Amino acid sequence: MRILIVNGPNLNLLGTREPEIYGTVSMQEFLDRLRDNFPENDIAFFQSNHEGEIIDHLQDSSFDALIINPGAFSHYSYAIADCLKNIQKPKIEVHISNIYQREEFRQKSVTARYTDAVLSGFGLNGYRLAILSLLNQQ
């Protein structure tokens, strides 16, 4: 299965950005672990701080399932939400922190409505849990 993981703004700073919230492991380190744990799957990754680049990548990429962490875009990007609405493949939204324990504006996700599930507050392990869920849906 080809699984595409897409991260939104500032998630390229994982490992250094607010480690008390997001941990100290970089996304590259964690991707290497995921690929080692799921060697029979093709795990592709894309990160951008630009909304349009994320939409273009989602529309142009070939994948069987999607894991998306839109970051701050989850709270206001109707453009990414519309893009997700038109993807007819399994999709899971992941948030590293528990968005319901954060600031009020972070507690709403306009993109989640167009995914099959949301994982929030499991740290980076949320990505692994999302992969397990997608594989169980096969």
Q: Tens digit of pLDDT for each residue in 50-81?
A: 999 999 999 988 999 999 999 999 999 999 99
94 burial (CB, 10 Å; 0-12 / 13-18 / 19+) is: buried
| Alpha-carbon separation of residue 40 from 18, 85, 117 (angstroms) | 33, 28, 23
pLDDT digits (tens, 9 = 90+) for 25-38: 888 999 999 999 99
Closest CA to 22 of 82, 69, 90: 69
The pLDDT of residue 11 is above 90 = no
Give me the number of domains the chain comprises. 1
Cβ atoms of 130 and 4 within 8 Å: the answer is no
- Domain hosting 120: range is 2-137
Q: pTM of this prediction? A: 0.92
Cβ-Cβ contacts under 8 Å for 53 (sequence gap 6 or more): none
Q: Which residue has the higher pLDDT, 15 or 76?
A: 76
- Strands of the sheet containing 91-95, edge to edge, are 42-47, 2-7, 65-69, 91-95, 117-120
Known binding-site positions for substrate:
69, 75, 82, 96-97, 106
Cβ-Cβ contacts under 8 Å for 81 (sequence gap 6 or more): 110, 111, 113, 114
For position 117, what pLDDT does the model report?
97
Per-chain mean pLDDT for the chain: 92
Tokens standing for 138?
A: 């096969």
Cβ atoms of 34 and 128 within 8 Å: the answer is yes
Q: Which residues are catalytically annotated?
A: 22, 95
Residue 58 belongs to domain with CATH number:
3.40.50.9100
What is the rounded CA–CA span in Å between residue 47 and residue 9? Answer: 7
